[in-house]
Copies of this chain bind each other. A is one copy, B any other.
């Protein structure tokens, strides 16, 4: 079964929005064991033409976008033309939308579907999903609003696929997550695996301070495939033990929450250049309140002094971005909060504010346990401002991980 994804919308071709729908669908289908053979983005004015190419070569096509009531929503019309089906009003849909207070042209437009289409009710929004069947295939239309699309996929599309397109040979997948390890460091090991099993697919996905390695194998023997993959995984885990983390979401912050809670430690931060982004990253995980107390975002130097007790002399002598200031910020955390562990960040996010000796991209970190000697680290991420902050946050998370894991 050949499955492809299509996203509709001029805004995607113009870079008005990031395409998170194809990301969601690819990830969700991959978890179900389906292989996505291609993704295509088509503009509003070219839906019929673009869809024809994909539909002709595929069995199942999932399309998102262009189902709404506004004037830039043109998917249903194009699909009608492509499949030579008239657009007709679905009375059930109309009734449901009427109840929700819709009327006029919007009601009319949202109630229409290509003749013969099955309706997937949308409980999070107004435009329902639609399915057109062909022998051994289906064209599935979903709305473009991410929350609606995601809910419809989980509630209706996933069960539909499982029922009508059950998998025979399946893709099995294992992954391992590392931090502070580079692509080049794992590559030799991976090449050995590949020699053993030439059909093994390996993906290496570096992301800031973390690295995800994915092994996959197509097989009809689940047990064998899983054993093989988990063997490869264990070898890597052993070789890189201190840097391996586990998190369902792939997010180091999740692993940190687990380990802090497990070790019964609390954490507080002092941030400057990151503006609160490290606190935001840590609290993006449910349950963060079990160990995370807070963050003192002392962007202005006056706050470093008044809130964290950093001596004005230290800032004067070494600069706000220095290991000396970072260390005093860390001590300030222990003064101001009851945290067991602290980390302080000060850096130059740029583009302005750098000097020859301390260029934009410089990051100074101090971290450690209350009452113990602080560990200090100076790093350099010469990137654009937002990317600098992302690296700073990711690196801080990875430092925390390696340190707490070893405690």
Contact = CB atoms under 8 A, between A and B. Distances in A.
Interface string A30-44: 100001111111111
A294 B299 contact: yes
A271 B17 CA distance: 28
Interface in A75-101: none
Contact of A387 (B22, B28, B147): B147
A374 interface: no
Contacts of A351: 286
A36 B387 CA distance: 26
Interface stretch (A7-15, A221-229, A234-242, A255-263): A7-15
Given A202-B72, A286-B351, A352-B286, A19 B19 contact: yes
Interface stretch (A162-170, A274-282, A399-407): A274-282
Contact of A289 (B18, B204, B299, B306): B299
B11 A203 contact: yes
A350 interface: yes
A295 B282 contact: no
Interface stretch (A186-194, A310-318, A361-369): A186-194
Main secondary structure of the interface of A (DSSP, over half): mixed
A293 B300 contact: yes
Contacts of A184: 106
A107 interface: no
Given A40-B40, A280-B275, A15 B19 contact: no
B24 A12 contact: no
Interface residues of A, number: 97
A303 B299 contact: no
Contacts of A280: 274-277, 280, 389
A94 to B, nearest CB: 18
Name, among A26, A40, A43, A298, the residue most crowded by chain B CB atoms within 10 Å (CB to CB): A26
Nearest to A150: B384
Contacts of A201: 10, 44, 72
Contacts of A282: 275
B300 A289 contact: yes
Contacts of A194: 71
Contact of A204 (B53, B70, B190, B307): B70
Nearest to A16: B205
Contacts of A292: 275, 299-300
B275 A295 contact: yes
Name, among A38, A106, A191, A292, the residue most crowded by chain B CB atoms within 10 Å (CB to CB): A38
A27 B15 contact: yes
A108 to B, nearest CB: 14
B38 A50 contact: yes
A25 interface: yes
A297 interface: yes
Contacts of A37: 13, 43, 46
Contacts of A71: 187, 190-191, 194, 202
Given A13-B37, A293-B299, A295-B299, 13 more contacts: A11-B205, A15-B23, A16-B214, A18-B20, A18-B23, A19-B23, A38-B46, A44-B201, A147-B383, A275-B292, A276-B276, A279-B299, A289-B299
13 contacts: A12-B39, A13-B37, A14-B30, A15-B26, A71-B190, A72-B204, A286-B349, A288-B299, A289-B299, A289-B300, A292-B300, A293-B303, A303-B337
